[in-house]
Amino acid sequence: MAQEAIHRGPIPFEAAPTERPSRARLFLIALVIVVIAEAIGNINIPVGTGKIVLLPLLWALLLGGALGLASPRLPALLRLRSSTQSAAAAFLQPALLIFIAKLGLLVGGSLPKIFASGWSLVFQEFGHFFGTMVFGLPVALLLGIKREAIGATFSVGREPSLAIIGERYGMDSPEGRGVLAEYLTGTVFGAVFIAVLAGLVASLNIFNPLALAMGAGVGSGSMMAAASGAIAAQQTPEVAKDVATFAAASNLITTTIGTYFTLFLSLPFTIWAYGKLEPILGRNRPDTVRAPSAAVAPAHEETAIGFAEMLVAWVLIGAYGLIGNYLTYGVIPDAAVVGGMAIIIGVVILGWGLYVLSARKLPAVIWVSLIGMALTYPAMPYAAEIAAMTGKINFLALATPILTFAGLSIAKDIPAFRQLGWRIVVVSFMANAGTFLGATLIAQFWMHVPVT
């Protein structure tokens, strides 16, 4: 689920998809967006007794998406051709690994707190994997959606879900259209939606922030970054650090067992629930979902990135993080801070190396997370020093580049997204809300507040 760099092929509107985009121009545009987003900073919007917090990472996502959508009407220097948007999607994984490394380094030093939280971290995963169906399936049936509801609500619909449904039903099936709708909605709107929802729920002070953090670990790196950021922004600095830690731990568990859980538990349960509920809720309701045409349905092809390009990307994305760390959090990038970033990049490189040496049998995010946790585990030599250096870099500053590249990549999916209809989009939002709220509710029930 967190391997968000398995990319959709470009949707032609401006240039041939075989055209090689300018990597330098892409990273320059990304830099400008990061600077603008961090300069805007946090904006609070009151909503009744709660509030919505708009973070720099959301501004980055929106700015990148707006630039992509407006590209046909922009000067050539600012225009994002479809090949450039696909390249932005490809560089999303390097950006994500930097963020995951930082979270791994946070988790290692906090493992005693995580263990002290009791069974909440274990059982909340059932909320992630069944919440999508519990919240989404009844709404889908009431809106007249038929078997598309199975694909749209058995998971949050990331790449492994596409593979599961494609192998079992085929992507031209109703179930295939449903999982495609969930995938596209999550790609285009997922981070924005989950950040707004998580921030609003956090502001109501109903749930323990750590339960909300576990709910944020939905298995998508960009969505986890957006949700945990919105929650952490409303906490004290110490609690905000714990929010990042628990969100990372939850996301790692979701990523590790996600494919097997959705294949052997979530999908069969959703099929069973559909059979029981459809005659009751969906009776006499015509199917309302249109299939995307072949001309606009995204092909799942990956833009190739060499190791040298990836290495440069890690350095540049790390530099963008230091810029955001200074603009928003006032941390001057002195030798200690730069050294901390070097450690983070080193964790990424080592994790990627193990990923390649192990024949890519485990996702790179798992290797990177494990190395980061090992380095700061209290029993390890120099753990305190490493934690102190890397701790000077706020994890939210590293989330902004992730959402920047996500925003720059989404415009190519809009044509297919438009054909899916508003009903399936509502269902997708309900599924995303379900995975967050379901896991939060279970975590809250089992939560033992860790002793500081």
The pLDDT value given to residue 5: 39
The pLDDT value given to residue 398: 92
The pLDDT value given to residue 306: 87
Degrees to nearest 5, angle at CA 54 with 236 and 423: 125
In a domain, 131, yes or no: yes
Whether the pLDDT of residue 14 is over 50: the answer is no
Q: What is the pLDDT of residues 243-254, one digit of tens each?
A: 999 998 888 888
The pLDDT value given to residue 1: 38
Q: How confident is the model at residue 147 (pLDDT cuts 50, 70, 90)?
A: confident
In a domain, 29, yes or no: yes
The pLDDT value given to residue 115: 75
Whether the pLDDT of residue 283 is over 80: the answer is no
In a domain, 204, yes or no: yes
Q: What is the CA radius of gyration of the chain?
A: 21
Taking alpha carbons only, the member of 86, 22, 103, 35 closest to residue 319 is: 35
Work out how many domains the chain is built from and give that number.
1
Task: Show the domain range for 270.
Answer: 23-90+119-304+405-446
The pLDDT value given to residue 106: 86
In a domain, 96, yes or no: no
Q: How confident is the model at residue 299 (pLDDT cuts 50, 70, 90)?
A: very low
In a domain, 384, yes or no: no
In a domain, 68, yes or no: yes
Q: What is the pLDDT of residues 107-143, one digit of tens each?
A: 888 787 777 766 777 788 788 888 999 999 999 999 8
Q: What is the pLDDT of residues 315-353, one digit of tens each?
A: 999 999 999 999 998 999 999 999 999 999 999 999 999
When pLDDT is averaged across residues 58-71 and rounded to a whole number, the result is 90
In a domain, 216, yes or no: yes
d(CA 271, CA 157): 15
Q: What is the pLDDT of residues 66-107, one digit of tens each?
A: 998 898 888 887 888 888 888 888 888 788 899 889 988 988
In a domain, 77, yes or no: yes
- Highest mean pLDDT among 52-56, 287-291, 295-299, 391-395 belongs to 391-395
Q: What is the pLDDT of residues 372-408, one digit of tens each?
A: 999 999 999 999 999 999 999 998 899 899 889 988 9
